[in-house]
Amino acid sequence: MPADKLIELGKTVSRRLRANPQVQVVEGAGTELFCFQNFLDPLECGGLVAMIDADRVPSTVYATNDDKHFRTSESCNLARTHPFVHAIDAKIDHLLGMKNRQGESLQGQRYAIGQEFKAHHDWFHVEQPYWQDERKRGGQRCWTAMIYLDQPESGGETSFPAAGLMVTPRAGMLLAWNNASPEGKLNSATLHASLPVTSGIKNIVTKWYRERFWC
Ligand SMILES: O=C(O)CCC(=O)C(=O)O
Ligand SMILES: [Fe+2]
């Protein structure tokens, strides 16, 4: 049962994160959100930024959307077989206690001035046609982990409007959240957006974990 899996993954991952002395719990209404400062060092951040810079193409969205400005950043999927990417993946897997194959490819994202990702949930909307494929390749996105690789001079905050939270990018800082509620329901309080960058550039990587093996 999918709900059982989401309940179990919610519990085991959040228990593991709470037991880690380097992890801070971020208090937001109705969410389980965690933060780890300096999760990546400047060399790791710089290496990922260079890869994103080389491979970036306009970002895409899953659901058909009339708003052409919904996600205006550039992104790329980083090759999981690349030894450097593999090492970063392994570090995130270990932090959350996830199996490598539950994780989608690490996605690099770059926001220039004015670029943004409007409010959305990372979980899949099961009434959308794309879900018929996604349910067969790993099911729901249970947890999200994202890491800021640098910090724009202004703008680019990650806003969680339903939870009443605003996170300012800090190079190397990881954020992780449970996309489900403790009852295994898709949690609408995880709604989030990347606010437009107003000065400088913002680079991040995101790892979305599935209930089952994605690859
Ligand atoms: O760039 C951000 O702050 C948010 C990115 C995001 O929502 C995602 O990667 O799913
Ligand atoms: Fe997101």
The pLDDT profile of the chain, 215 residues, written as one tens digit per residue, is: 568 999 999 999 999 999 999 999 999 999 999 999 999 999 999 999 999 999 999 998 887 778 888 999 999 999 999 999 999 999 999 999 999 999 999 999 999 999 999 999 999 999 999 999 999 999 999 999 999 999 999 999 999 999 999 999 999 999 999 999 999 999 999 999 999 999 999 999 999 999 999 98
Domain-located, residue 47: yes
* Residues with C-beta less than 6 Å from any ligand 1 atom: 109, 117, 122, 146, 158, 192, 194, 204, 206
Residue found by looking up tokens 């260079």 in the block = 50
Domain-located, residue 55: yes
**Cα distance between residue 124 and residue 98, in whole Å:** 19
Work out how many domains the chain is built from and give that number.
1
| CA–centroid distance, residue 47 to ligand 2 (Å) | 23
Q: Tokens for 202?
A: 């913002």
Q: Tokens for 4?
A: 């059982």
pTM for the structure as a whole: 0.96
Domain-located, residue 215: no
CATH number of the domain where residue 129 is located = 2.60.120.620
**Of the candidates 76, 71, 146, which has an alpha carbon nearest to the alpha carbon of residue 114?**
71
Closest ligand 1 atom, CA of 204?
1
Closest ligand 1 atom, CA of 146?
9
Q: Domain range for residue 143?
A: 2-210
The preferred substitution site among 31, 123, 192 for testing ligand 1, maximizing ligand atoms within 8 Å of CB, is 192
Interface ipTM: 0.99
Q: Tokens for 54?
A: 């080389």
Domain-located, residue 51: yes
CB 112 within 8 A of CB 131: no
Q: What is the pLDDT of residues 45-88, one digit of tens each?
A: 999 999 999 999 999 888 777 888 899 999 999 999 999 999 99
Domain-located, residue 150: yes
Domain-located, residue 13: yes
Domain-located, residue 206: yes
Domain-located, residue 80: yes
